[in-house]
Chain A
Amino acid sequence: MSGARQEWVGFSLRRVWAIAVNTLTESVRQKVYLVLILFALVLIASASFFSQFGFGDAGEQGALEQLKFVKDFCLGAISVFGMLIAIVGTAQLIPNELEQRTIYTILSKPVRRCEFLFGKYLGSALLVLVSLLVMSVMFGAALKFKGDNYLRVVRETVERAGENANLEEAARQTERIRAAVLDADLVKALLLAYVKLALLAAITLLVSTFSTSMVFNVAVALLIFFSGHLVGAAKERWAESGAARFLLALVPDLSVFNVADDVILGDAIPWGYVAKVMLYGAVYLAAVLAAAQFIFAEREL
C-alpha cells in the first residue's frame, strides 16, 4: 500500500473536528485577529456617518443614495477584512506549528497528516465564518439604523402635511426604502463572499504546505487574490485562444463570487447562478485541498 493511501486508513472526522476547534480557539485568541475584527466592526458601524458625504439630498433620492453607500461601504469592509482574516489567519497555521515544534507532538500521536491538515483548514474556515457572521450582524444593524431614520422622516413629513399629505407618494417611498433595507439577495451576496473567502483560505493553506515563511504565504495569497480578480478581464482579452483559457482557468476566477454590487443596484440574483458559483467554488476548494494534502504528505518535517 502506498504512503498516500495509508494516510487515509482510519481517517477520523472526530480528530479533524478536535484540531479544527483547537485551531479556531487559538486563532480567536490572537491579537492580530482581535484587532482586525475590531477595526472591521468600527468601520461597518461608522458606515452610516460616512454615507453623509454624498450629495445630501433630504428626499427619497438622498435616502436611497445613502443606503447604497452604507451597503457598498459595509460589503466592501466585509470583503477586505474577510480577505485579511482568511489570509493572515491561515498563513500562520503551519509555520507556527513548525516554529513552536508542536506539530511533532501532534503527529507523534495517532493523528494522520491529512487529519491535521483538514483540521487546520476547517478551523480556519470556521474562523472566517464566525468573522463573517459577526460583521454581517453589524452590517444589518447599521443598515436598519439608517433605514429606520429615513422611514421616520417619511412618517413625520406625512404627519406635518396633515390632510394635504400625498399618501400615495409616502407609501411608495416607504416601500422603496424598506425594499432597499430588507433585501433578501444580500444573503446570497454574503454566502458567495464566504465561499470566496473559504477558497482563499484553502489556497493560502496550499502555499503554506511548501513554504516555511508566513510573510511569503501572505504575499503569494494576496497575489493570487488580485490575479483571481483579473482573470475575467484576461479572458475577455484572450477569449478566442483555447490554450489561454485553459491556462487562465488554473487561477480561480474570484470575480464570479462578487455579486454584492449587483445586489446593491437592485438586480435579482437567481439561485441557479448562486448554485453554479458555489459548485465552481466547491470543485476548486476540493482540488486545492487535495493538492495541499499531496504536498504536505511528502513534506520533510
Chain B
Amino acid sequence: MRGILSAILVLLLAAWGTLPLQERMETQRLRLKFGGVTVTREMRDVMGQGLVIGVLAGFRGVAADFVWIWSHSDWEQKRWFQQYNKMQVATMLQPRSVLFWDVGSWHMAWNIGYAERVDTNNYTLAQGMKRELVWHERGRQFLVRGIQNVPNRYELYFKLGWLYDQKFKDPCLAAEQYAIAAGFSNAPTFIARMHCRKLAECGKYAEAYDCWKRIWFQDHKKVPHLWGVVEREIRRIENEMDIPDAQRIFPQQSPKPEPSR
C-alpha cells in the first residue's frame, strides 16, 4: 500500500512541478503557430470516424494528406462542392500548409471556375460566367484565409496577386500583393518586376518608375534580375512619362541597344 501511495505522490508531484513548464510550452506553441487543430463536427462529417481518431492520435498530417488525395477523386467526378469541402477540411487539419491553400485556390479560381463556365447545363453564357465569378471569389477568400494562417511566407501573397491580376483583372490590387510578396528576402526576383509592371498598368506611373529605378540601382552582379528586361521597361516608362533627358536613366540622345528578347 505504501508503494502505491508513494507512486501516486510522485506522479502528483511531477504533474504539479511541470505545470509552469507546460504553460511556457503552450505559449511558445501558440506564438510559433504549432499544431492547434480542434476537431469540429464539420470535420467529422467529411472525414468519417476513422480519420478523426487518426487525427486525435496525432496523425494529423497523414489524415490531411488522405483528405487531400480524396478530394482528387471528387475533382475527377466533377463533384465541386465535395472537393471544396474536403479542401476546407485539409486546410483545417494543416492550416500552415502553403501547398493546400495555394493548390486549393488554384482549383477553385481556375479549374472549377472554367468548368462551371463551360458547363452544358448553363442556359446562357452569362449564367456560366456568373457561376465562374462565384468560384473566383471562393478562390480569393480561400487565399485570404491562407494568408491569415501563413502570414510569414511570400507564396500566398504572390498567388493572391496573380489571382487579382489574371482573374479579377485588377492590376492595382495585384500590385499591392506583389509588393508584399517581393518584400520577403527569399522571394524570387521576378515578383519585384511584376510589382513594378502592375503599378504601371494601374496608371501609377510615378510609383512604377520609382519601383523600376529601385531595382535598377541594385547590385547587378549580386541580384539575379533579367537586367535587359528592367532596362527595356525603364526606357518604356520614361518615354510614356515623357521624362526630360537630363533626368532619365537612359537618355534618348545616346540610346543603349535594345536587349534581345
Of residues 235 through 275 on chain A, the ones whose CB sits less than 8 Å from some CB of chain B are 235-236, 245-246, 249-250, 253-256, 258-262, 264-267, 270, 272-273
Of residues 273 through 301 on chain A, the ones whose CB sits less than 8 Å from some CB of chain B are 273, 276-277, 279-280, 283-284, 286-288, 290-292, 294-299
Say whether B58 contacts A255, CB under 8 Å. Answer: yes
Say whether A294 contacts B34, CB under 8 Å. Answer: no
Bound-state Cα–Cα, A260 to B58, Å: 10
A68 interfacial contact with B, CB 8 Å: yes
Stretch at the interface among A89-97, A121-129, A222-230: A222-230
Say whether A249 contacts B25, CB under 8 Å. Answer: no
B246 interfacial contact with A, CB 8 Å: no
Say whether A259 contacts B34, CB under 8 Å. Answer: yes
Q: A73-B62, A291-B11 are in contact. Are A61 and B103 (CB under 8 A)?
A: yes
How far, in Å, is B22 (CB) from chain A's closest CB? 6
A152 interfacial contact with B, CB 8 Å: no
How far, in Å, is A39 (CB) from chain B's closest CB? 16
Selected from A72, A233, A256, A266, the residue in CB contact (under 8 A) with B153 is A266
Say whether B69 contacts A233, CB under 8 Å. Answer: no
Bound-state Cα–Cα, A54 to B76, Å: 12
Q: A250-B11, A258-B35, A276-B25 are in contact. Are A294 and B72 (CB under 8 A)?
A: no
Bound-state Cα–Cα, A255 to B65, Å: 19
- Which B residues touch A210, using CB under 8 A? 4
- Which B residues touch A169, using CB under 8 A? 188
| Interface hub of B22, B29, B64 (most chain A Cβ within 10 A) | B22
Say whether B4 contacts A294, CB under 8 Å. Answer: yes
Bound-state Cα–Cα, A191 to B182, Å: 36
Say whether A267 contacts B18, CB under 8 Å. Answer: no
**Chain A residue at smallest Cβ distance from B39:** A233
Say whether B103 contacts A55, CB under 8 Å. Answer: yes
- Which A residues touch B35, using CB under 8 A? 232, 255, 258, 261-262
Type the 1/0 row for B9-48, where 1 means its CB is closer than 8 Å to any CB of A: 0111111111101101110110011110011000000000
Bound-state Cα–Cα, A279 to B97, Å: 29
Say whether A284 contacts B14, CB under 8 Å. Answer: yes
Of residues 42 through 93 on chain A, the ones whose CB sits less than 8 Å from some CB of chain B are 53-55, 57, 61, 64-65, 68-69, 71-73, 75-76, 79-80
- Which B residues touch A262, using CB under 8 A? 32, 34-35, 96
Name the prevailing secondary structure of the A interface residues. Answer: helix
How far, in Å, is A18 (CB) from chain B's closest CB? 25
Selected from A249, A254, A272, A298, the residue in CB contact (under 8 A) with B19 is A249
Say whether B6 contacts A294, CB under 8 Å. Answer: yes
Say whether B16 contacts A246, CB under 8 Å. Answer: yes
Selected from B4, B8, B11, the residue in CB contact (under 8 A) with A288 is B11
Selected from B3, B16, B99, the residue in CB contact (under 8 A) with A249 is B16
Bound-state Cα–Cα, A286 to B56, Å: 26
- Which A residues touch B97, using CB under 8 A? 68, 265
- Which A residues touch B61, using CB under 8 A? 71-72, 75-76, 260-261, 264
- Which A residues touch B13, using CB under 8 A? 287
A172 interfacial contact with B, CB 8 Å: yes
Say whether A258 contacts B10, CB under 8 Å. Answer: no
Bound-state Cα–Cα, A172 to B26, Å: 35
Type the 1/0 row for A136-173, where 1 means its CB is closer than 8 Å to any CB of B: 00000000000000000000000000000000110110
Q: A236-B38, A261-B35 are in contact. Are A72 and B189 (CB under 8 A)?
A: no
B177 interfacial contact with A, CB 8 Å: no
**Chain B residue at smallest Cβ distance from A250:** B15
Selected from A235, A261, A291, A297, the residue in CB contact (under 8 A) with B10 is A291
Selected from B18, B34, B56, B65, the residue in CB contact (under 8 A) with A230 is B56
How far, in Å, is A176 (CB) from chain B's closest CB? 10
- Which A residues touch B89, using CB under 8 A? none
Bound-state Cα–Cα, A83 to B224, Å: 48
Q: A258-B58, A294-B7 are in contact. Are A267 and B26 (CB under 8 A)?
A: no
Bound-state Cα–Cα, A118 to B210, Å: 71
How far, in Å, is B102 (CB) from chain A's closest CB? 7
**Chain B residue at smallest Cβ distance from A264:** B61
**7 more A-B residue pairs beyond the given contacts A273-B25, A298-B2, with a C-beta to C-beta distance below 8 A:** A4-B6, A53-B69, A55-B75, A168-B190, A230-B56, A266-B98, A294-B3
